[in-house]
Amino acid sequence: MNGTIFLVVFFIGIVMGGIVNRFVRCIPAELPLIKVKKIRIHDMTKLSLVKVFSMDRYLDLKRGLLLCDTKKLVQNTTVVLAHGLIYVLLFIKFGFSLLFIKYCFLISVLFVIGLIDFATQYVYSSTIMVGAIGGIVFTVMECFQFRTWPSDAVLGAVVGFLIIGLIVWITGGMGEGDIEIAALCGLFTGLTGSLLTIFFSFILGGIVGVILLSYRKKGRKDEMAFGPYLALGAIITIFLGHELFAIYLQWI
């Protein structure tokens, strides 16, 4: 029975991964998210199982032949499979609960924001707005379920906003979109989670920055999207944040 439940959760995850891929492709290009396209049966026979499974319009039909960008195929398939795995891990950690649904939503939104930011170095307000509305809805639901005030969520959002906002104001080394991402993560993870998200994001960003400088892929003055590291920091916080931070405190 447990195996069946895990398969169902994994399937839901890969479906959401396909939707995320669609959003990542369509939002920067300002394409419609839903588009009906007629494909002849003759053309359908040319689609391999792997290409159909990737669930995204990175496939182009030209002169009746399927042209596929291999790099895009790998990225999209990775996102789909990663979503399935992450959803299963969330289910193992939280069970079928409000927290499970809440973090599934957050991680999917962060995938969209992070991948777009990585590719374009731009954070779209529409993606932040969707995440913020979802965060408010989940916060209200938690208040009713646990009979608490939303102080932790509000503090998390405010602290994330202020810390990254202060860094942007002083150094100019980040974009305003990073402020919004930090606030969004804090809204979902609370005060402690907000601090841990920022902590882990700077560690990850620093490691990647050093590697890129070492291999001369980036110069000291080159811009680097920080949104993906905030997203990864939030994911680490959800799964292992408190445990890793406790270990860190023992070493200092």
Region 11-17: what's the mean pLDDT?
97
Model confidence at 11: pLDDT above 90: yes
* Contact partners, residue 215, CB within 8 Å, separation at least 6: none
Q: Over the range 119-150, which residues count as b (16 or more CB within 10 Å of their CB) and which as e?
A: eeeebbeebbebbbebbeebbeebeeeeeeeb
Residues 27-56: pLDDT tens digits? Answer: 998 887 766 554 454 454 444 444 444 444
Reference 237, options 88, 93, 81; nearest CA is 93
**Pair of tokens at residue 227:** 């949104």
Higher pLDDT, 46 or 83: 83
Reference 67, options 87, 48, 88; nearest CA is 48
Residues 178-224: pLDDT tens digits? Answer: 999 999 999 999 999 999 999 999 999 999 988 888 876 666 666 78
Kindly tell me the sign of the dihedral angle through the C-alpha atoms of 68, 40, 52, 102.
positive
What are the CA-CA distances from residue 88 to residues 5, 8, 105, 235 (Å)? Answer: 9, 9, 14, 14
Residues 111-165: pLDDT tens digits? Answer: 999 999 999 999 999 999 999 999 999 999 999 988 889 999 999 999 999 999 9
State the Cα–Cα distance between residues 98 and 87, nearest whole angstrom. Answer: 13
